[in-house]
């Protein structure tokens, strides 16, 4: 698998707060990476640093083998981006905006544009400033996909879309992901959307990349161990969280295996039960 991007020990500090803490990961061809985390976790900062909008304070980033702060035109033309904030130009109409962008891309596909405008019912003859938030978001997504970028980065792309548009958008993303040389990175709060299309998960908590795993490996990697009653047990290796709902004990652990099971049985007074976790469960276990 070819790496489209590598992030090596990336740290960002703003106003004395560590917004990103030593993140190391990569983006491979064929990845559809869902970036999950609460507000303020560092998702947008990670994406903006990855694309070179904010210089990395520590660590190294390579995007198509180049520094994102000084990318060649060829590399730039391989990247599609939908910003969390509205990056459209409000004085132009939708068609004008797309026409402006089309001048910068050799591979601009007007047919794809027109099809998406039609399918998503975007009124591209209206001035962008007059469009609703959802319409603007759709236009922004269309503008990012019209030149078939190899790496599509979307920062909270579905936040302003209605459920129908959200489903259509996810189908489109799935279509892009079918291309084995492409990759998609999108941040979201909506776990179900991520489960629907993502092949890989980046979970960020307080600036740390606490999970970087393929979704289908998640069930093997993370488990919830449940005990009847409140038990006293020393902190387990790979323990992510511990809770006591309804007087019982739930421990979320990473890397459950035979030796850990034996370790638990040796130390706990009652038998444990291993419960596989869904992505939503994992999100709640860690953040709630």
Partner 1 sequence: MIRFDLVWRSMNNGSTLSMLIALIVIGSGLILISIFTQDHEQTLRVGGTIGALMLATHTIFLPLTAGRVLANPKLQLAPQAQPSIRLCVLALVVLNAIVWPVIGVAVFKLNYPFIVLLTACWLSMITLALIAVAAPKNTFGIVMYFSSVGIIPSLLLPWLLTLPINLLVGLSSLLLVIAIAYCLITDSRYSNANLLRSRQLLNPSSTKNFRWVERLFDYSPSDTFDNDDKRNYAMLSMQNSGPESKLMATMLLGVPAAIVLIHFIVLIFKPEESLNRVPLLAIVPALCGIYGAIIAPLVDNARRMHLRIDGDRNKLFTLIDKLVFTKVVKWLLAAGVMVLTLIALLPNISFTLLDSAKIYATVMFIYIAATYIALYIFSATARGPKRYVVGTLLYIPLMFGVFWLAKIAPQADFIVLASTCAAATFTAIIFRKLARKVFANKALLYVSPKTVHL
**Interface residues with partner 1 (CB under 8 A)?**
14-15, 17, 19, 39-40, 42, 44-45, 48, 51-54, 73-74, 76-77, 79, 81, 83-92, 96-97, 99-101, 103-105, 129, 133, 140, 143-144, 156, 159-160, 162-163, 189-190
Instruction: Characterize the bridge pairing of strands 183-188 and 200-205.
Output: unpaired
Closest separation in Å from C-beta 148 to partner 1: 14
Residue 5 CB, nearest approach to partner 1 (Å)? 14
d(CA 209, CA 41): 10
Question: Measured from the CB atom, is 30 or 42 closer to partner 1?
Answer: 42
Joined tokens for residue 280: 């939503």
Output 167 or 263, the one with its CB closest to partner 1: 167
CA 288/CA 277 separation, integer angstroms: 15
Q: Which is nearer to partner 1, 15 or 216 (CB)?
A: 15
**C-alpha–C-alpha distance, residues 39 and 206, integer Å:** 10
| Rounded alpha-carbon distances, angstroms, from residue 125 to 31, 102, 110, 114, 143 | 35, 16, 15, 12, 15
Q: How far is the CB of 100 from partner 1 (least distance, A)?
A: 4
Among 183, 187, 198, 186, smallest CA distance to 78 is for 183
Q: How far is the CB of 228 from partner 1 (least distance, A)?
A: 32
C-beta closer to partner 1: residue 160 or 254: 160
């Amino acid at each position: 698998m070819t790496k489209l991007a590598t992030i090596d020990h990336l740290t960002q500090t703003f106003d004395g707060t560590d917004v990103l803490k030593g993140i190391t990961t990569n983006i491979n061809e064929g990845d559809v990476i869902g970036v999950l985390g609460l507000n303020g976790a560092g998702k947008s900062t990670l994406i903006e640093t990855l694309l070179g909008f904010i210089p990395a304070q520590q660590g190294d980033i390579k995007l198509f083998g180049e520094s994102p702060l000084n990318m060649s035109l060829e590399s730039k033309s391989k990247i599609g981006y939908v910003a969390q904030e509205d990056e459209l130009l409000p004085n132009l109409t939708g068609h004008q905006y797309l026409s402006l962008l089309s001048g910068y891309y050799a591979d601009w596909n007007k047919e794809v544009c027109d099809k998406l405008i039609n399918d998503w019912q975007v009124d591209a003859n209206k001035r962008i400033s007059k469009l609703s938030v959802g319409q603007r978001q759709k236009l922004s997504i269309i503008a990012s996909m019209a030149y078939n970028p190899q790496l599509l980065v979307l920062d909270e792309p579905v936040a302003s879309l209605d459920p129908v548009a959200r489903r259509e958008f996810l189908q489109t993303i799935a279509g892009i992901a079918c291309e084995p040389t492409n990759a998609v990175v999108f941040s979201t709060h909506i776990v179900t959307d991520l489960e629907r299309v993502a092949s890989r998960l980046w979970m960020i908590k307080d600036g740390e990349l606490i999970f970087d795993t393929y979704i289908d490996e998640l069930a093997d990697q993370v488990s919830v161990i449940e005990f009847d009653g409140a038990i006293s047990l020393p902190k387990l290796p790979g323990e992510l969280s511990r809770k006591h709902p309804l007087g019982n004990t739930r421990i979320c652990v990473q890397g459950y295996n035979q030796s850990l099971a034996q370790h638990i049985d040796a130390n706990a007074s009652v038998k444990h039960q291993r419960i596989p976790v869904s992505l939503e469960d994992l999100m709640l276990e860690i953040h709630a």
